Structure 1
Amino acid sequence: MTNIYFVRHAHSTYTPDERERPLSEKGWQAAERVTEILQNESIDAVIASPYKRAIQTVEGVAKYFQLPIELEEDLRERLLSLQPVGDFEQSIMKVWEDPTFYFEDGESNITAQERGVACITEILRKYEGENIVIGTHGNIMVLIMNYFDSQYDFSFWKKLHMPDIYKLTFTEGQFVQANRLWKEDIVKKV
């Protein structure tokens, strides 16, 4: 069995530069909780989106297991648009309602999902039989999960926390199940 631990990044301090947006103080505290939870697992690899907040959220895990963080461009967040959108949640709802729709210079759900699933398929091949932590983002994470099971949709995305952890189990490259490791009592402590 191969286990992928999707870690949605913790709360970040807003900056217009998506790639360099760092964790907030609250985010750093939550990232410590991520490390505490994943210390109980036997982690073989840590991979992250190249975005700073995703890397920072899994840094503690990599240090604990004495592993490098591999950066994977295709785990970056989906590009909604190069220009600011009016109402973010309405815009996300629109792309989920029509998987082929995209805003100018943005990615449709289908395009982002294909990118993310191709990346995960390669990770599953490369790390077969191992436990992999992946620091990533809410929308791309749910799009990947949706490919394997349609219950992971827009309403699921809306319920995610920052951070959040989902363990996806695969056997011979086939999805078996997903379990949430981030508990509500942990969220209240942060």
Structure 2
Amino acid sequence: MLTNLYFVRHAHSTYTPDELGRPLSNRGIADVERITNILERENIDIVMSSPYKRAVQTVEGVAKFIGKEVTVEDGFKERNLSVKPVEEFNLAITKVWEEPAFSWEGGESNINAQKRGIKATLKVLETYEGKNIVVGTHGNIMVLIMNFFDEIYGFSFWKDLDMPDIYKLTFDKKNLKKVNRIWNRT
């Protein structure tokens, strides 16, 4: 019995220092309709999301379409890079990918963030075996989860993601069988 996880990297958001409450931008809101249209054809059973507002907003159209609420799962929240804003984001993010055990002050290493994301993913695979599950999430944690199952998904892959983006991961039990990108900006 195959299980499909549709990882949806959140749409474009309006920057605010409130990481948890940061909303989608006008561009992001426009993309939500396209995301919903794509996922309406996928026979979705469950919609889950990171607790971050931008991730919830990105997938709530799908939840409304199937007549269910978005289930919030803390394990799918974005990795905490540092306790305070980093001066050079590209340098900071490159270092944590180059040194998986390294973390900036108050932040999560790739190893720790991946463990958190994998724990949530394995719980979903076990709880909803044979279902189609949408997961509203974030670029870094999504790729760290994908990387656990196949190392081809790494830093270069993360840098090439769109915002939003959708990847369908097909599992047999807890074994990743295939990955398909189902988002197309055009």
Task: Give the shorter-chain TM-score range.
Answer: over 0.9
- Which 4+ residue blocks in structure 1 deviate beyond 6 angstroms? none
Question: Does structure 1 residue 84 correspond to structure 2 residue 85?
Answer: yes
Structure 2 CA distance for aligned equivalents of residues 84 and 4 of structure 1: 31
Tell me the residue number matched to 2:115.
114
User: What is the match of residue 169 of structure 1?
Assistant: 170
Give the secondary structure class of the aligned counterpart of 1:47.
strand
Residue identity matched to 1:171: D
Secondary structure in 2 matching 1:119:
helix
Query: The residue matched to 1:176 in structure 2 has which SS?
Result: strand
**Residues 1-190 of structure 1 mapped to structure 2, 5 A cutoff:** 1-185=2-186
Give the superposition deviation at 1:109: 0.1
Q: CA deviation at 1:87?
A: 1.1
TM-score (norm 1): 0.96
How far off its partner does 1:184 sit?
A: 3.8
Deviation at 1:166, TM superposition (A): 0.1
1:179 partner SS: strand
Q: Deviations over 1:81-135 (max 9, x none)?
A: 0111111121111000000000010000000000000110000000000000000
Structure 1: distance between partners of 2:75 and 2:3? 20
Q: CA RMSD in A?
A: 0.6
Identity rate, percent: 59
Q: Deviation digits for residues 22-68 of structure 1, max 9, x if unmatched?
A: 00000000111100100110001000000000000001000011111
Aligned length: 185
The separation in 2 between residues aligned to 1:34 and 1:82, in whole angstroms, is 32
Secondary structure of 1:177 counterpart: strand
Gaps of 5+ in 1: 186-190
TM-superposed deviation, 1:149 = 0.5
Q: Matched residues in 1 for 2:157 and 2:94: separation?
A: 12
Normalised to the residue count of structure 2, the TM-score between the two structures is 0.98
* Matched position secondary structure for 2:20: helix
Gaps of 5+ in 2: none
Specify the code of the residue in structure 2 equivalent to 1:113. Q
